[in-house]
Structure 1
């Protein structure tokens, strides 16, 4: 039986605190005071009969009971959003919105072609494409803010409640500007790498562990001059204007390499290869427009793989 004391604000506040791992940040995003967020969480915990969050140093973390409730709370908010969208569609003739999370490599390599194919189907659906780190996108998918994530396969501990469909595999490359000194040097790349600024994936990015393991295996324990970024626009501009080395997924720079604007250093990085595909919540049923978009993503991924 549903407890009538549980309101929409309880679910919304709970999900936002869980996503932000901070009462302060949740309050800012919800445009309410911190005491109001705390009071709402306590009301929900009283109904649940358990603590949903616990202190973790100076911050907070979700409890095991909170994790269980989060899956259902996220699904409930998603269902409510879908219901509101359905009413809006009936009133105004709008197609349901489709919210896609895509890694920068996918946004560059796959999504433009996928959208071109999708628009030909004339579903008139509103599309929202969000780019970011894999962990952030998966959390947004978990709480119902996204319908689909197109990116790398996360670790087993991150995939609870998700299904994954493999599209292709992708590896990391060392990209530099055309004419870079390391393209012609006879010295070992790994010996010389510390002499240059290196653009690294952020610590929260899914390819970071692959990159770190690869560097350590090749004798590079640390890089004295590095910049962490997931911004493909910054990386592209900075590398083209300097002697920096950009360690990045192939798909992000594939077009630049094909156009001769960037080049790949002669390093065998095949051991950094990882699966890229479609991730969805196991409890979700894709709408017709989303199913069509998923098919165009499959076709675009197949095209990109064939051209690689």
Structure 2
């Protein structure tokens, strides 16, 4: 069946796209019907109508719910983009009618600056209290594809020095805001905390917390030891949970790696100490990822400006 934008536009209704996306989000017709306050048969009818208009099956129905066909996956990607634009249109209309309002969906890499993002949100709320802010924490291979299809507006975090991330989500751009040092941390009474300087070799026999192997920071941690001619420590916990890591370091033996801005917060509260390591590595560039060329959404653009202002304060 040959389609063109005009003929498809006359057939499709936005409500159909909303129902289809909710079915994918819920994983079943029944749960989608409950979320939409519709009957199961009404949701099924909408999906059948949509499949008839597009000329191919969208879903595979099974005992455990529904999954997309290959064609359905293609439609799902575009549906998310359409719904993201609808959300932006709603925000823009609200902002025009009521002043600065709307919603900003922020993805944050677990290794993101502990100072930059909270400060940027504070600045945003000072200027636009009515803007709703939603945070989603994850890894780059989860957040960047979500950003590319419109599920997120901005992703804030560490920007890798290589450009391999572009393969995950081509078409995105990164803006560097500041460079962050990396430091070794331990409990306030760690035996090495009182030293004025130490080497990585002197620290290698202690228990260590290293980033998980699927995180972008793991490569930095491995290079730290390899560049010093050392193997990775034998006694290791792999974790990206900040609060768990801090609790583990209360044993006054375990060491970990943190961006200096995050470490300073725990030092100031008397929780941790920065171990003075010779030739400490850089955490890297911190900034944000965004989709270039999209229509400017007032609340999102305001948040980007707040990120830039917060970076100047950090600097």
Q: TM-score, normalised by structure 1?
A: 0.72
Which one of the candidate residues 136, 142, 154 is aligned to 1:148?
154
Which one of the candidate residues 277, 297, 303 is aligned to 1:266?
277
Partner of residue 176, structure 2: 166
CA contact (8 A) 1:105 1:252 kept: no
Deviation at 1:211, TM superposition (A): 1.4
| 3-state SS of paired residue (1:165) | strand
Which one of the candidate residues 74, 81, 104 is aligned to 2:87?
81
Sort the Cα spacing of 1:187 and 1:78 in 2 relative to 1 into closer, same or farther, 3 A. closer
| 3-state SS of paired residue (2:314) | helix
Partner of residue 109, structure 2: 103
1:257 equivalent to 2:267? Answer: yes
**1:42-79, Cα deviation, whole Å (9 max, x unpaired):** x97x9588999xxxxxxx9x98x999877644322311
Which one of the candidate residues 183, 188, 195 is aligned to 1:178?
188
Deviation at 1:12, TM superposition (A): 5.7
Sort the Cα spacing of 1:230 and 1:269 in 2 relative to 1 into closer, same or farther, 3 A. same
1:138 equivalent to 2:144? Answer: yes
* Counterpart-to-counterpart distance in 1, 2:233 and 2:175: 35
Partner of residue 238, structure 1: 248
| 3-state SS of paired residue (1:173) | strand
Partner of residue 37, structure 2: none
Deviation at 1:123, TM superposition (A): 4.9
CA contact (8 A) 2:197 2:278 kept: no
1:215 equivalent to 2:206? Answer: no
* Counterpart-to-counterpart distance in 2, 1:29 and 1:164: 38
Sort the Cα spacing of 1:181 and 1:29 in 2 relative to 1 into closer, same or farther, 3 A. farther
CA contact (8 A) 1:174 1:267 kept: no
Q: Mapping of 1:1-308 within 5 angstroms?
A: 1-2=4-5, 3=8, 4=11, 7-8=16-17, 9-10=19-20, 27=27, 31=31, 72-83=78-89, 95-104=101-110, 106=112, 108-154=114-160, 155-183=165-193, 184=195, 188-190=199-201, 192-193=203-204, 195-259=205-269, 261-270=272-281, 272-305=282-315
| 3-state SS of paired residue (2:102) | strand
Any unmatched runs of 5+ in structure 1? 17-25, 53-59
CA contact (8 A) 1:107 1:131 kept: no
* Counterpart-to-counterpart distance in 2, 1:219 and 1:28: 53
* Counterpart-to-counterpart distance in 1, 2:125 and 2:77: 33
* Counterpart-to-counterpart distance in 1, 2:98 and 2:311: 34
* Counterpart-to-counterpart distance in 2, 1:191 and 1:28: 56
Sort the Cα spacing of 1:187 and 1:109 in 2 relative to 1 into closer, same or farther, 3 A. closer
CA contact (8 A) 1:71 1:142 kept: no
CA contact (8 A) 1:106 1:252 kept: no
